[in-house]
Structure 1
């Protein structure tokens, strides 16, 4: 296993590297989807009820 500082392998003793990679990739994807949904909601909010401070 390569020493990859992005993977905090010491926090996950005994877990395979691919599992940690998959978990991180999923987390990044969920964050990206959340951001896109928020942008879409902001664009669809034409009557000012969004609460985004605009």
Structure 2
């Protein structure tokens, strides 16, 4: 996405009807949250929400 300068993708259902949009920020933000959880060693039973960084 970055190399082609694509910032947003349209999400469509099985009939090609638009149902949403995902941005590069959504992907990067999720990666950041997952990395933080991995570094904390939090198990799914103890998981606490990480503040949104977007």
Higher helix share: 1
Higher relative contact order (CA 8 A, sep 6+): 2
Same structural fold, with TM-score higher than 0.5 when normalized by the shorter chain: no
Structure 1 length normalisation: TM-score?
0.39
Higher fraction of strand: 2
TM-score (norm 2): 0.39
User: Rg bigger for which structure?
Assistant: 1
